[in-house]
Chains A and B, each alone.
Chain A
Amino acid sequence: MRRLGVRVLTAVALAAFILPLAPVGTVAQGAPIKIGFLAPLTGPFAQIGKDMVNGTELFLDEIGRQAGGRKLELIVEDTEGNPATALNKSRKLVEQDKVHVLTGGLLANVGYALAPFIDSAQVPATYPVMAADDLTQRKPAKWIVRTGWATSQPMHPFADWVIKNTKHRKIVTIGMDYAFGYETVGGFQRVFEENGGQIVQKIWTPLNTNDFAPFLAQIKRDADGVLALFVGRLALQFMKQYQEAGLHGKLPLYGGGTTTDESVLPQMGDEALGTITALHYSQALDNPQNAKFAKAFEAKAGKISSYYSEATYTNMRWITEAIKAVGGKVEDKGALLAALRKVEIKDTARGPLSIDAFGNPVQNIYVRKVERVGGRLQNSVIATIPAVSQFYKYKPEEYMKQPLYSRDYPPCKSC
């Protein structure tokens, strides 16, 4: 009897596995337009993933989940922040759910991992957040349009701004030891040094750093300022320890946009005051679209909007513009891709947007300073640099002949 029970159990278990594998029926005409959305919903990046989903949902709700005369259906999948999982989920979205547009994603390695798959599956895709430079530079993918930004894009004009508006010429950089850090610091260093500045020291901190004291102790005290690049928890901790080390107010602090991003800013204190960073968005940006978005997002999510939520909000708007342009006929994938590559929006929450020949937005870069307004910290915009391309003022061909910014490039000549 026991044997039999076991056999039955085995059979049931087998059936349970095989059943969901059965192919699903084909979709009827006039069905909703399906949009596949990838975000890390579990693991260390889950909070940011939630912001990304909220931004997307917010825009969809605003337009009543309809565009081009058809319903829009959003299918969200969890990447766990892992490229292999992201690939699996993209296969599921494309091959099983038959999505018409694939979008989302947070980490650079996910962006690189998905690119060959997207090109071979020929599915129109957008990258709202993944910023690794080469995704739209030396290794562009035909079917991917970036609606977000390239990592070094804000840093080129930022370096120029520092040269023109301050007397600081000797800067120490400290940043997270991975590609996002290299491209941020590299972009700044290149323009800064071409305009007469000097990077006098480059410090890289491991991603799992728990104590910044040893790194802060190394900083050359005769420098004019420090450029910091941190994300999430590390940004919080760096700021705190920068103050504890007695550097706050002594060595002016500059940074990449994520260092004071609104996803961490509310948890910072006075130690963040005065930090100047550059990005293509600020929650404090003064325009009617952003006023509306920032308010609606706070009402929906119960926290202030960050660049991650704005990125996915505007990304969804970008996609709907393209859907409208093809009259809802998203089955013509080539036409949809062409439409995605032609979108131009004059009034997004982050300002006017257009797109370059390589599939990266040309957009305003904002120099922001952390101030306390009405009791809470914000990134007040102190300068706007209009219509910045990912190649800054360089010619694309010449720009791409130089190597990708890395740990050792540009080399530190003045260290």
Chain B
Amino acid sequence: MTRGRVVLAGAGVAALAAAIAPALSAYPLTLLTQAAIVAILAMSLDVLLGYTGLPSLGHAAYFGVAAYAVGILSTDYRRGFLVCLVAGVVLAALTAALFGLLAIRASGTYFLMITLALGMVVWGLAFRWVSMTKGDNGIAGVPRPELGLPWNLGAPLPFFYFALAAAVVAWALLGLLVRSPFGMSLLGIRESESRMRALGYNVWLHKYLAFVISGTFAGFAGVFWAYYNGFVSPVDVQLVTSVETLLMVALGGPGTLAGPALGAAVIVFLKNFVSVYTKRWLLILGAVYIGVILFAPRGVLGAFRRGPR
């Protein structure tokens, strides 16, 4: 499949989802909504992992910071959607900007470890800064946004379209980014850092910017996640969330954007449908991962692309 086809296919899937949504009952709709939001998170990580070659284990941090911003602002301060959105995204970007300074110096396993540690710092804050985050109990009662639109976003269908629109916007923006000259140089860095440096590129700056942009979009996902659940707790920030995101990217195909989105959807549905039928659903999920690694090491979508890239 060529790039154009992937774009077409992605747009087709989004359009198909939008078209069948009204026919669905509330529960499948909420799952689709969740898939759309988690897809944003997975795509944001793909910028780092797939395009820049930096495997981050702390992505839940930016996601969580934004979710907490929304949680706190919309409950304690009763702020509207726009304030929450901006605050969430900006805070996530700032967190990423700070963490990037510390993490970008390392690469490979060391990068994994530093991002893991930084992610745990945010988790610790969420857990222990009780006066701000309500600690382990979490922040409940985040209201669905009021946009002054004729649709009530408290209902599942409008909120699904809202989340889907956000996912499409994120996909388009990230798509433009990775196809831009900047995105091309990121690919170059992934393939050979030393060669790019020899060619006169500021490798550190490129990686740093990719890191911040990635964190910003993770924050964008976090904003919608907080509204979707109506609840924020340290679980959203914990290591498991980061790892799961990493697995979504790996499953779908790093460096394809649409792949991680697909991976996110697959995992959301596997988790929620398979677990209805068997308690051993983790085994099935594990088997899926192993299958992908053995038979499609470049992910589901990566397997559709021919030859070395």
Q: When each residue 280-292 of chain B gets 1 if its CB lies under 8 Å from chain A and 0 otherwise, what string results?
A: 0110000000000
CB of A17 within 8 A of chain B? yes
Contacts of B140 in A (CB 8 A): 112-113, 115-116, 139
Sample of 12 more A-B contacts, CB < 8 Å, known A18-B20, A108-B136, A109-B234: A21-B20, A78-B275, A87-B230, A88-B31, A88-B34, A91-B30, A95-B25, A95-B26, A108-B137, A112-B140, A120-B154, A179-B136
Assuming A112-B140, A178-B136, A179-B136, is B275 touching A21 (CB within 8 A)?
A: no
Q: Identify 28 residue pairs between A and B in the complex whose beta-carbon atoms are under 8 Å apart, listed by A's number.
A: A21-B20, A22-B23, A23-B23, A23-B28, A42-B282, A78-B275, A82-B235, A83-B231, A83-B235, A85-B271, A87-B231, A88-B272, A89-B272, A95-B27, A95-B30, A109-B234, A109-B235, A116-B140, A120-B154, A132-B137, A134-B137, A178-B127, A178-B135, A178-B136, A179-B136, A179-B137, A180-B136, A407-B130
Partner of B130, one of A78, A120, A406: A406
Contacts of B28 in A (CB 8 A): 20-21, 23, 96
Q: When each residue 21-33 of chain A gets 1 if its CB lies under 8 Å from chain B and 0 otherwise, what string results?
A: 1111000000000
Q: When each residue 11-23 of chain A gets 1 if its CB lies under 8 Å from chain B and 0 otherwise, what string results?
A: 0001001101111
Residues of B within 8 A of A (CB): 16, 20, 23-28, 30-32, 34, 127-128, 130, 135-138, 140-141, 154, 229-231, 233-236, 265, 269, 271-273, 275-276, 279, 281-282, 304
Asked if residues A20 and B23 are in contact (CB atoms below 8 Å), the reply is no
CB of A84 within 8 A of chain B? yes
CA distance A205 to B20 in the complex (A): 51
Q: When each residue 45-71 of chain A gets 1 if its CB lies under 8 Å from chain B and 0 otherwise, what string results?
A: 000000000000000000000000000
Asked if residues B27 and A96 are in contact (CB atoms below 8 Å), the reply is yes
CA distance A23 to B29 in the complex (A): 10
Nearest opposing residue in chain A for B30, CB measure: A91
CB of A41 within 8 A of chain B? yes
Q: Lowest 6 A-B CB distances belong to which pairs?
A: A21-B28, A95-B26, A96-B27, A23-B25, A113-B231, A95-B27
Asked if residues B137 and A112 are in contact (CB atoms below 8 Å), the reply is yes
Contacts of A399 in B (CB 8 A): none
Asked if residues A109 and B138 are in contact (CB atoms below 8 Å), the reply is yes
Number of interface residues of A (CB under 8 A): 41
Residues of A within 8 A of B (CB): 6, 14, 17-18, 20-24, 41-42, 77-78, 82-85, 87-89, 91-92, 95-96, 108-109, 112-113, 115-117, 120, 132, 134, 139, 177-180, 406-407
Asked if residues A92 and B276 are in contact (CB atoms below 8 Å), the reply is yes
Asked if residues A116 and B26 are in contact (CB atoms below 8 Å), the reply is no
Nearest opposing residue in chain A for B139, CB measure: A112
CA distance A6 to B9 in the complex (A): 13
Assuming A78-B275, A84-B231, is B138 touching A112 (CB within 8 A)?
A: yes
Asked if residues A92 and B272 are in contact (CB atoms below 8 Å), the reply is yes
Nearest opposing residue in chain A for B144, CB measure: A120
Contacts of A20 in B (CB 8 A): 28, 273
Contacts of A6 in B (CB 8 A): 304
Asked if residues B276 and A24 are in contact (CB atoms below 8 Å), the reply is no
Contacts of A113 in B (CB 8 A): 138, 140, 229-231, 233
CA distance A237 to B135 in the complex (A): 25
CA distance A20 to B135 in the complex (A): 37
CA distance A348 to B111 in the complex (A): 57
CA distance A112 to B137 in the complex (A): 7
In whole Å, how far is B240's beta carbon from the nearest beta carbon of chain A? 8
CA distance A42 to B279 in the complex (A): 8
Asked if residues B269 and A17 are in contact (CB atoms below 8 Å), the reply is yes
CA distance A404 to B280 in the complex (A): 39
Contacts of B127 in A (CB 8 A): 178
CA distance A117 to B282 in the complex (A): 27
Assuming A84-B235, A88-B272, is B279 touching A41 (CB within 8 A)?
A: yes
Nearest opposing residue in chain A for B138, CB measure: A109
